[in-house]
Structure 1
Amino acid sequence: MTLLITGLILFFASHSISIINEPWRNRMATRLGEKGWQGLYGLIALAGFVLIIWGYGQAQQAPNPLYVPPSWTRPIALLLILPVFPLLVATYFPGRIQAIAKHPMLLATLLWALAHLLVTGTLASVLLFGSFLLWAIADRLSMTHRIQRPIQGAPPSNWNDLIALLVGLVIYGGFLFWLHHWLFGVAP
């Protein structure tokens, strides 16, 4: 559990700097250069991500159940996950989906975390998915008080929404029927 918690701290510390102290983030980016800052930020986030995966895998080998999710939550979780991949793709393909969602990656993270909390009930799962849910909410709320930096993506196009939907649904299908089980050992 220590690796999971350490990973969560590193990952969310790096991802929460703009929430907590955006002026400091901007000073550091100026001092290191934007690419230098992104490199440092990326290394810390990657280290956290690796520790999250490793720590979660270890914690799930001897799970500590907190609750037993009812079976009727599984179809709800599958429905909540359905827009996740199109939203993630829409983050990089500006169009109506991006405009309506405003922050499609945060909305995708929120839905992903909520869906997993509905169908998992171990301590490690609640720590992992609960942390992502709370962070997505906090980051989204903080966006009302700060200017969002642009995300590099495709140029605006009338086709971007169709691309986001089709690519996102193909990825969803891949996870539903094969990838989730292959990567995580659990078939949705």
Structure 2
Amino acid sequence: MMGLLVLGLLIWVGAHIFKRVAPEQRAAMGDKGKGVVAVALFISLGLMIWGYGGVEFIPVWYPPAFMVHINNLLMLVALFVFGMSATTGRLRGKMRHPQLTAVKIWAVAHLLVNGDLASIILFGGMLAWAVLEVILINKAEPVWDRPQPGEAKKDVLLVVITLVMYAAISAIHVGLGVWPFPG
């Protein structure tokens, strides 16, 4: 199962950086290439979920219980930052790579509360991918055309959506048997 997790992670990284490391080949694929990349990403997610869910638990370190509180706070921040990529409010354009920054926050949050080998591979691998992706994007496109900010009320909507998404993701974790709140 560890092999499936690693394979899924490698496909995820490869599919995402393909456009950056082989732009001519990706461009030659045209619109059909988007479908190929989407299928690769779908397969990679399935492999990572299946592999992570079935892998033997191999403890590497034992996170202290208080880390759950830090994880939960970081997850709220990650969801908010991720949402900044779609906002049309005042926060629009405050951050160049909000989705990738959110992945970094998400990965660090999960590394703080999961000390097993599979978690270190999955969340550490996603963290490394997000860092690499930002480097590759900034190298390929060094100039960023910052979008103009919009209305402040859209930022309020972002907060509401963040809280709803946090509740939904927490419910999914509970449904999977992972209680995300300290008792």
TM over 0.5: yes
Q: Runs ≥4 in structure 1, deviation > 4 angstroms? A: none
Q: Is the 8 A contact 1:29 1:37 kept in 2?
A: yes
Letter in 2 for 1:3: L
Which of residues 66, 80, 89 in structure 1 aligns to 2:83?
89
Structure 2 runs not aligned, ≥5 long: none
2-structure distance, mates of 1:9, 1:127: 11
2-structure distance, mates of 1:141, 1:30: 20
Q: Percent identity?
A: 31
2:104 matched residue in structure 1: 110
Which of residues 169, 174, 179 in structure 2 aligns to 1:181?
174
2-structure distance, mates of 1:175, 1:45: 20
Pairwise CA RMSD of aligned residues? 2.1
2:39 matched residue in structure 1: 43
Letter in 1 for 2:164: V
Structure 1 runs not aligned, ≥5 long: 151-155
Q: Is 1:32 the equivalent of 2:25?
A: no
1:57 matched residue in structure 2: 53
Letter in 2 for 1:179: I
Q: Is the 8 A contact 1:29 1:36 kept in 2?
A: no
Aligned residues: 174
2-structure distance, mates of 1:134, 1:30: 25
Letter in 2 for 1:180: H
TM-score, scaled relative to structure 2: 0.86
Matches within 5 A, 1:1-188: 1-19=2-20, 21=21, 24-25=22-23, 27-33=24-30, 35-59=31-55, 62-147=56-141, 157-158=150-151, 159-176=153-170, 178-182=171-175, 184-188=176-180
